[in-house]
């Protein structure tokens, strides 16, 4: 019994000791918790009367007194922690940070333009990368730097602060993503500076009148969406646009970026709304389009002139003109794919292509006309007097010698003398000066292979006339019917030769008319092509305004 009593006594003592130790541990933990809470609620580092911890024994700002560790083994709060807990005690990020509701929050807006990412002419969208600099004064975020080891600026996650609802009015994106959740820099005077990195996609009405020598002016309108001017006063900063970090664009040259503050009254509300509009002036770099569009177009337009140097008989005049016309059509389609489908502007390169296509179409039609004129001699019709006179005038203007087209007709004429049964026929050649009384037997002998001496003997001694029939009969005087037959056949041969020569001369006349017209049309189309090229690609780009105005939406 004594042993059992002793065991029970020892067990009771052990349990009492354990319970006492657990109770003391809970009190220590409670003391540590109250100490940390009291340190967070003080602005000068002193704790409340119940269980306070001395500031010198806490974890101090670097560079201050050495860091000490309390008896529990945990470090104290830093100066930034204490300041953060002090500033945001009872802070509400959903309300404006002003004590007097009638006071507006003045928000200064500026941008640091880093890149012109793209200007989509077809969709009329400008994409830019900017640092959106926003600065305002928060009356709730003030502290004395001497109380926190001269801590004058604190970086705070922006989700803990009130932020103005600055939006891009002419944005083409939705606002579900919001801005970059970057840290905000808070000064001890209450000034908050928040510069998130943003990629803006804004609408920009593109003026393509002088494309590809055009300037574009785009705007970015930034302002508060819900707060009116009496609650949030939006203004531009002293240095509105910073271009020190700008990366140049290969297609566009940045001319200038300006900022302007506007006060606008909307139909929904009677209060004014403030905004800051940034205007970006861009100028297109023309080297790419000169090398890939303008030079090929000029070369194609020069090919149109070769149509009038080709022979009408080659049959390739129309083929060349149609090929050039199709090439211009392809260029027109390529340019139209990148241009906005608008009827407000007509691009300069489009005007040039349309003009040159019209010139090419006219050259094809005139090439067909010249080809028909060149083949007019096949119909055995003489050149009309009007066309003949016009050709002679053009020949004199262009100093061209005409070999076949003359003022007087040079056709060979056949004149009959005496009755139809006469043995002799008078021939008048084209010059009309020499008249031959030859019966034509010499020509017949020539056709049959006889020598001229035999022909003369025949003329001198008609009774010795030989003919194929006499050669076959081997003698006898020729009959009168045989001579008449020979003469009639000779007359038909001469008429056919005359008609052949006359037709050949007509063909040469028509071909010479076509050649003169080709040369005249070459000079005309050369003048038109050069004038169109110089006017649309040199003169008109020089007439554009040096500082274009912002295009208004209608």
Cβ proximity of 335 and 292 under 8 Å: no
The CB density around residue 68, as the number of other CB atoms within 10 Å, is 13
Question: Average pLDDT of 5-24?
Answer: 52
Separation of alpha carbons 143 and 151, rounded Å: 9
> What's the confidence (pLDDT) of residue 5?
52
Per the rule left: phi > 0, alpha: psi between -120 and 50, beta: everything else, 204 is: beta
Separation of alpha carbons 71 and 54, rounded Å: 13
Cβ proximity of 364 and 318 under 8 Å: yes
**Residue 190's pLDDT band (boundaries 50, 70, 90)?**
very high
Q: Tens of pLDDT along 447-458?
A: 445 444 444 444
Range list of H helices, 166-289 = 287-289
- Cis omega (within 30 of 0) on the bond before 212? yes
> What's the confidence (pLDDT) of residue 451?
47
Cβ proximity of 190 and 234 under 8 Å: no
> What's the confidence (pLDDT) of residue 192?
96
Sign of dihedral through CA atoms 448, 449, 452, 455? negative
Per the rule left: phi > 0, alpha: psi between -120 and 50, beta: everything else, 475 is: left
Question: Average pLDDT of 398-427?
Answer: 53
Using H for helix, E for strand and C for coil, what is the string for 408-437?
A: CCCCCECCCCCCCCCCCCCEECCCCCCEEC
What phi, psi does 387 have (nearest 5°)?
-65, -40
Separation of alpha carbons 317 and 307, rounded Å: 5
- In the predicted model, what is the mean pLDDT of the chain? 76
**Residue 145's pLDDT band (boundaries 50, 70, 90)?**
very high
Domains of the chain: 79-284 (2.70.170.10), 289-402+520-543 (1.20.58.390)
- Three-class secondary structure of residue 261 per DSSP: strand
255 to each of 182, 205, 258, 282, how far by Cα in Å? 30, 18, 10, 6
Q: Tens of pLDDT along 113-123?
A: 999 999 998 88
- HSE at residue 397, side-chain half, CA atoms within 13 A, is 11
| Res. 245: pLDDT tops 50 | yes
| Res. 43: pLDDT tops 70 | no
Lowest average pLDDT, out of 413-417, 493-497, 520-524, goes to: 413-417
Share of the chain above pLDDT 70, in %: 71
Share of the chain above pLDDT 90, in %: 38
**17-25 CB contacts, 8 Å cutoff, 24+ apart:** none
DSSP β-ladder status, 125-137 and 191-194: antiparallel
> What's the confidence (pLDDT) of residue 415?
35
Is pLDDT larger for residue 498 or for residue 260? 260
> What's the confidence (pLDDT) of residue 81?
92
Separation of alpha carbons 532 and 554, rounded Å: 32
- Three-class secondary structure of residue 263 per DSSP: strand
Cβ proximity of 513 and 391 under 8 Å: yes
| Res. 398: pLDDT tops 80 | yes
Lowest average pLDDT, out of 239-243, 472-476, 483-487, 544-548, goes to: 472-476
Q: Tens of pLDDT along 311-331?
A: 877 778 888 889 999 999 888
* Most confident of the ranges 207-221, 429-443, 537-551: 207-221
- HSE at residue 365, side-chain half, CA atoms within 13 A, is 7
Q: Tens of pLDDT along 86-135?
A: 999 999 999 999 999 999 999 999 999 999 999 998 889 999 999 999 99
Question: Average pLDDT of 391-398?
Answer: 88
- Cα pseudo-dihedral 509, 514, 520, 526, rounded to 10: -160
- HSE at residue 242, side-chain half, CA atoms within 13 A, is 16
List beta partners, residue 108.
135, 235
**Residue 60's pLDDT band (boundaries 50, 70, 90)?**
very low
């Amino acid at each position: 019994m004594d042993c059992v009593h002793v065991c029970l006594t020892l067990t009771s003592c052990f349990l009492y000791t354990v319970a006492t130790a657990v109770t003391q541990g809970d009190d220590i933990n409670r003391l540590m918790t109250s100490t940390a809470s009291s340190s967070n609620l003080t602005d000068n580092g002193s704790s409340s009367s119940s269980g306070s911890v001395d500031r010198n024994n806490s974890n101090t700002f670097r560079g201050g007194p050495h860091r000490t560790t309390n008896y529990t083994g945990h470090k104290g709060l830093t100066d930034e922690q204490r300041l953060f807990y002090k500033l945001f005690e009872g802070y509400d990020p959903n309300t404006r940070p002003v004590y007097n509701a009638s006071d507006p929050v003045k928000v200064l807006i500026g941008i640091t333009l880093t890149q012109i990412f793209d200007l989509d002419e077809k969709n009329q969208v400008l994409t830019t990368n900017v640092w959106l600099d926003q600065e305002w004064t928060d009356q709730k975020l003030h502290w004395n730097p001497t109380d926190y080891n001269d801590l004058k600026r604190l970086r705070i996650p922006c989700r803990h602060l009130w932020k103005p609802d600055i939006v891009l009015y002419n944005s083409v994106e939705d606002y579900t993503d919001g801005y970059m959740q970057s840290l905000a820099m808070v000064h001890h005077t209450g000034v908050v500076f928040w510069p998130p990195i943003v990629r803006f996609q804004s609408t920009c009405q593109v003026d393509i009148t002088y494309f590809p020598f055009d300037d574009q002016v785009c705007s970015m309108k930034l302002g508060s969406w819900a707060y009116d001017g009496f609650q949030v006063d939006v203004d531009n900063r002293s240095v509105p646009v910073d271009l020190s970090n700008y990366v140049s664009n290969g297609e566009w040259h940045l001319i200038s970026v300006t900022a302007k503050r506007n006060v606008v009254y909307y139909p929904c509300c009677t209060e004014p709304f403030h905004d800051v509009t940034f205007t970006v002036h861009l100028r297109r770099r023309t080297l790419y389009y000169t090398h890939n569009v303008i030079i090929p177009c000029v070369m194609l337009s020069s090919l149109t002139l070769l149509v009038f140097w080709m022979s009408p008989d080659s049959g390739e005049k129309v083929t060349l003109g149609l090929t050039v016309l199709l090439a211009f059509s392809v260029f027109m389609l390529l340019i139209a794919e990148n241009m906005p489908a608008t009827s407000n502007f007509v691009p300069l390169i489009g005007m040039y292509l349309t003009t040159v296509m019209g010139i090419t179409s006219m050259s094809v039609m005139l090439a067909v006309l010249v080809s028909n004129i060149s083949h007019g001699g096949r119909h055995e019709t003489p050149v009309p007097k009007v066309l003949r006179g016009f050709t002679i005038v053009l020949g004199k203007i262009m100093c061209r010698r005409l070999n076949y087209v003359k003022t007087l007709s040079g056709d060979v004429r056949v004149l009959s003398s005496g009755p139809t049964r006469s043995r002799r026929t008078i021939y008048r050649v084209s010059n009309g000066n020499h008249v031959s009384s030859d019966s034509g037997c010499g020509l017949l002998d020539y056709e049959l292979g006889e020598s001229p001496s035999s022909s003369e003997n025949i003329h001198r001694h008609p009774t010795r006339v030989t003919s194929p029939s006499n050669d076959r009969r081997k003698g006898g005087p020729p009959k009168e019917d045989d001579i008449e037959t020979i003469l009639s056949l000779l007359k038909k041969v001469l008429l056919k030769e005359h008609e052949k020569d006359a037709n050949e001369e007509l063909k040469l006349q028509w071909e010479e008319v076509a050649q003169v017209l080709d040369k005249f049309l070459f000079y005309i189309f050369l003048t038109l092509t050069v004038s169109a090229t110089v006017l649309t690609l040199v003169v008109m780009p020089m007439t554009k305004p040096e500082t274009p105005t912002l295009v208004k939406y209608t």
